[in-house]
Amino acid sequence: AGSQIQGTAGIPRRSKRRKSVAIVYEPGQGDGAEPQRPRWEPRDWREQLERIREMRRSRDAPVDEMGVQKCYDSSAPPQVKRYQVLLALMLSSQTKDQVTSAAMLRLRQRGLTVDSVLQMDDETLGQIIYPVGFWRNKVKYIKQTTAILKQKYGGDIPSTVEELVQLPGVGPKMAHLAMHIAWDSVAGIAVDTHVHRISNRLKWVKKETKHPEETRVALEDWLPRDLWKEINWLLVGFGQQTCLPVNPRCSQCLNQDICPAAKKL
């Protein structure tokens, strides 16, 4: 590659002996080639998923009524909506949906935009968002991120996961949800503590994972891409109502007979 064609003069004489060329087969082609192994997928996962859909049919979990997708002003300009989505995600970390929703409502009553937040002093912002989890840190992250959005993105939010996770206080789960909700783009699976816990209980990961980011990689390896957006919403609500962190309600779960964790709990 990159060689140039030259005239015959000056070209050294080539050996007339032909070099043998190794033939490389695609998997599953050619004599003796190993057949392609089927991709790993969890046992009973399709039935488990269908039953979770059934349990989530009423859409009455906290995430349905007060989740981030309900926290922004739907009548605001698109750029403002996207900013409000990102802010709601930042507030939601280690915070119940009810608390995040209330904080967002208080912020929106003051006209929640990039400029209004930049003009607000830290003490006022802290009073408005309290009692969200780690509110002091979030005041700092919100002010830093908002300043970056103003300077670098013209007041909008980035449209890639790679840029979103560079913002102070924005992790991978938030970035993927921001892509889903703000940009209507599926770049990956948003994995929070509920998705992480339930994926391990159902054995939807090949081997046990310790952190949500490991779970995301493991799920994306086998779960069909057309389910990536739905899976967060399904499992978060399921985790809030049935598959609780402590004392899960296995007796009320339609998956009781095919859940690997049900017998142990």
Return the DSSP state at 192: -
Give yes or no for a contact between 172 and 165, defined as CB atoms under 8 angstroms apart.
yes
Planar angle of CA 114, 78, 155, nearest 5 degrees: 30
Which of 173, 207, 263, 264 is the catalytic position?
Answer: 173
**What is the crossing angle of helices 212-222 and 193-201, to 10°?**
60
| C-alpha atoms less than 13 angstroms from C-alpha of 224 in its C-beta half-sphere | 5
CA-based nearest residue to 243, from 183, 189, 197? 197
Give yes or no for a contact between 104 and 88, defined as CB atoms under 8 angstroms apart.
yes
Angstrom CA distances, 54 to 51, 85, 112, 194, stand at 5, 28, 37, 18
Quick check: bond before 131 cis, omega within 30? yes
Angstrom CA distances, 166 to 160, 162, 195, 246, stand at 10, 7, 23, 33
Planar angle of CA 88, 94, 96, nearest 5 degrees: 70
Q: Which token pair is 5?
A: 């064609």
Give yes or no for a contact between 141 and 169, defined as CB atoms under 8 angstroms apart.
yes
Q: Which token pair is 153?
A: 């993105």
Task: Reply yes or no on whether 207 is catalytic.
Answer: no
Active site residues: 173
